[in-house]
Amino acid sequence: MSQDTSNITVVTKLTGDKDSKVQAAMSYTAVTSHKEMADAFVRELLRLGQKIIPDHEMTIEDLMSICHMALDRREAGIVMLEGRHLRGRVAEQISRADRYTEPFSLLVLKLEELPDKAAYESVVETLCERMRKTDLMFMFKHRIVLVLPHTPRKPRRMLEERIKCLLEAAFNDDLEINIDGLTYPDPNLEKKSFVLDWVEDHLRG
């Protein structure tokens, strides 16, 4: 799994002759919401696939099969979103918690001493394999934020310890992991906006 550690936007520069009208950096949002972008992206994938496997002419059906296989392998994983969506998703959880009196929790994993990108991806993969489908993951450089719907304080603290144990075992205690958590509603928070402030403070600090 190759991934930009600052966010998870997929960006591809199209340079093929057939795509001369789409000379732009395409984000995940653009590819999934604009037909012309999507068609150009598929053609680019087919072209790259032909270069990787020159003896086999890939088809759209081949790409669909690959996508289905990838989705099946990630069935138990959690949703990974761009960091810029974090505030909006946290605000949604606050509104839902107020409306239905259902708590949610946040975890911020601080990964300061990762040796390389492969180690970062290993951490992400470890989390994805063990989290619920309803959980959300937001990735930043040296930070991972988990949004955990329907999670009160006690289960959140148990999960913190579980994640620490899993990652310490995976990295043989070579990885320093700091995890901070917050559960909403929290009697110590005077305003709802403090939840967003808490997240942003932990992303900066």
Per-residue pLDDT tens over the stretch 46-75: 777 777 777 767 777 666 666 655 554 444
Here the tokens at position 172 are 């043989």
pTM for the full predicted model:
0.61
- Name, of 51-55, 79-83, 115-119, 123-127, the range with top average pLDDT: 123-127
Q: Which of 71-75, 77-81, 93-97, 169-173 has the lowest mean pLDDT?
A: 71-75
**Alpha-carbon distances, residue 17 vs 49, 84, 106, 123 (angstroms):** 17, 33, 47, 39
Query: For the residues 30-50, what does the mean pLDDT come to?
Result: 72
**Residue 70 CB partners (closer than 8 Å, separation 6+):** none
- Pairing mode of beta strands 136-140, 178-184: unpaired
Three-class DSSP category at 169: helix
Percent of the chain beyond pLDDT 90?
23
Find the DSSP H helices in the chain: 28-33, 35-52, 60-73, 86-100, 117-128, 153-170, 193-204
pLDDT at 9 over 60: no
The CATH class for the domain spanning 79-204 reads alpha beta
pLDDT at 6 over 50: no
The reported pLDDT for the residue numbered 28 is: 58
- Residue with the larger pLDDT of the pair 21 and 104: 104
Write out the two tokens for 168. 């310490």
pLDDT given for residue 15 in this prediction: 42
Q: Taking the domains of the chain in order of start, what are their residue ranges?
A: 12-73, 79-204
Determine if the peptide bond prior to 185 is cis (ω within 30°): yes
What region does 150 belong to: left with phi over 0, alpha with psi -120 to 50, or beta?
left
